[in-house]
Amino acid sequence: MTNDLLILASNCKIITGHLKSILIDLQNQELLELSDWQFKLLKDISKLNKDEFIKKEIDFINSLIKKDVILKVPKQTLKYFKELNNEFENDSIINNSIVRINNSIVYYQDKLISNLNSVGCKFIEIRILDIMEKDILFEFLSRFKFTTIQSIDVFIPFNLNFTQCELINLQNKIFELRWIFIYSTPKNKLNNYNDKKLVNTLYLSHDINSKNCGVISSFYFAINIAMYTESLNNNTCLNCKISVDENGVVTNCPSIKENLGNLQFENLNEILLKKKTKKYWNITKDMINVCKDCEFRHICTDCRAFLEDPKDIYSKPLKCGYNPYTGVWEDWQTHPDKQNAIDYYGLRNSL
């Protein structure tokens, strides 16, 4: 090793939980579980005497240098390496929305879309609940052109009988479409149209019942700067999010039933002035029981709709089976501590 200093890249973070620590690489979206000696080595890497490193430490450091997780920096250039800005960068009042629709959307689609546009909404998930005329859906989706919406995911029931041709036509005309999910299908299947520069269609065998949401799993971890900084400052699911149902009723999400207002009679800006609308927005993982001791807290989404203790707004998400005090993932559905809450939310039949 040369005389250069070794530093941890500013977009790589060590997150320490009760039992374990992890290294997250926000640039390459990778996670590494650290052993005790690896944690001690990385924690003070710039202060350690490199001449005292033993072979396994040198090998470990070299493997991280290759990935740009550790940087070799001449001492005189150290001042140019800045810490990551921990502020969550967001230029929209509402970032994402979940909207349930049926044929009656024709009566207020202009108002809905202009309201979402006025708050800078970028991502929309559209859930079609029952039989809907394809022309009405197409007309609704085409109205997002020239709005702030950058990305549309749409959930279509299988019994709407969209043909491959119709799906491809939809994707060709609606540039904002990112994913199409066909739900309640006979079996799960992925249609990848990437070779045709089209979006993906995923066939899901399950329903999109609001009780199915909120499952916490390592599969859903998001290792990126937006998630990391949002987790430090805000709630990782509900911050800057709204949900609108087929009658125009606004809630925090489809599974949280508290009525915040109705878009058919109020503007979104008026609804956003109500204190209850932002009730969950600033609840961070560091405030939540158990999660605050979990090494995954800055890459994990947070569910406030289903809580282990429904009476405590700071309770751990019900649908998480991870125990940061033992480091073991267990099945949350059969865990004895969760049974009362499962009954409280009426989830028994949907397990």
Shortest distance (Å) from residue 189 CB to ligand SF4: 24
When the beta carbons of 171 and 239 are compared against ligand SF4, the nearer one is: 239
Which structure tokens are listed for 77?
A: 């250039």
Which residues of the chain form contacts with ligand SF4 (CB under 6 A)? 213-214, 216, 237-238, 253, 255-256, 285, 290-291, 294, 296-297, 300, 303-305, 316-317, 320, 322, 324
3-class SS string, the chain: CCCCEEEECCCEEEEECCCCEEEEECCCCEEEEECHHHHHHHHCHHHCCHHHCCHHHHHHHHHHHHCCCEEEECHHHHHHCCCCCCCCCCCCCCCEEEEEECHHHHHCHHHHHHHHHHCCCCEEEEEECCCCCHHHHHHHHHCCCCCCCCEEEEEEEHHHCCCHHHHHHHHHHCCCEEEEEEECCCCCEEECCHHHCCCEEEECCCCCCHHHCCCCCHHHCCCCHHHHHHHHHCCCCCCCEEEECCCCEEECECCECCCCEECCCCCHHHHHHCHHHHCCCCCCHHHCCCHHHCCCCCCCCCCCCCECCCCCCCCCECCCCEECCCCEECCHHHCHHHHHHHHHCCCHHHC
When the beta carbons of 171 and 235 are compared against ligand SF4, the nearer one is: 235
Shortest distance (Å) from residue 342 CB to ligand SF4: 15
Shortest distance (Å) from residue 299 CB to ligand SF4: 8
When the beta carbons of 223 and 237 are compared against ligand SF4, the nearer one is: 237
Alpha-carbon span 306 to 184, nearest angstrom: 23
Shortest distance (Å) from residue 26 CB to ligand SF4: 17
When the beta carbons of 9 and 305 are compared against ligand SF4, the nearer one is: 305
Shortest distance (Å) from residue 16 CB to ligand SF4: 13
When the beta carbons of 171 and 295 are compared against ligand SF4, the nearer one is: 295
Alpha-carbon span 73 to 260, nearest angstrom: 52
When the beta carbons of 38 and 96 are compared against ligand SF4, the nearer one is: 96
Shortest distance (Å) from residue 85 CB to ligand SF4: 23
Shortest distance (Å) from residue 28 CB to ligand SF4: 21
Shortest distance (Å) from residue 50 CB to ligand SF4: 35
